[in-house]
Amino acid sequence: MNVIKTEIDGVLIIEPRIFNDGRGYFFEAYSRREFEALVRKVDFVQDNESRSSYGVVRGLHFQKPPYSQSKLVRVISGTVLDVAVDIRKGSPTFGRHVAVELNGDNHRQLFIPRGFAHGFAVLSNEAVFQYKCDSFYAPQSEGAIAWDDPDLGIDWRIPPERVVLSEKDRHHDRLKDAGWLFDYGTDYYSALEGKEGLA
């Protein structure tokens, strides 16, 4: 696989090697051995999938310690704009984001480390979205930032009147008003925290 650095350290674009022939294509969506050699050691424990229609925006979500998550996201069909926001206080890129178009044709994936809020917008009529997590879903640990926080400056590439949100995602705080954020000086991959991600 090919690993592409983004403007924020740790957020990486993953391009798998595609084998095409007259029958179609084949690729390894994930190889633990290769991923850990080129990206970092991560113990993925849960796979999630969603289907959404045009205009749906999900985010910007994260989980607080001790259940914070890394995510490896990809699109099976359709097209989304995938967004990772640095919410680590003290980080040189605090409040900045990476936005990458993922679709069922380019087969790109985005690795989002712990310490970031994540969201995506559906740009096609429909999209099937999959992601791996290195910690189990913990509703008591949920956190979120407003998807439309003007200080973040995210262009979701959807007219505001066409955006579709869950009721919960309509009411998140802006980054500057968030009651809890990650700390840039804390290692959220420490052995102490990592225990909750191992089954």
Residue whose pair of structure tokens reads 């924020």 in the numeric block: 8
Per the residue annotation, which of 67, 107, 118, 131 is the catalytic one?
131
Catalytic residue list contains 131: yes
Per the residue annotation, which of 61, 97, 107, 172 is the catalytic one?
61
Catalytic residue list contains 61: yes
Diameter of the chain by CA atoms? 54
Structure tokens at 105: 């044709």
Let me know: does 58 contact 50? Beta carbons within 8 Å.
yes
- Residue 123's Cα: distance from chain center in Å? 16
Let me know: does 133 contact 45? Beta carbons within 8 Å.
yes
- The identity of residue 156, as a single letter, is W
Annotated catalytic residues are 61, 131
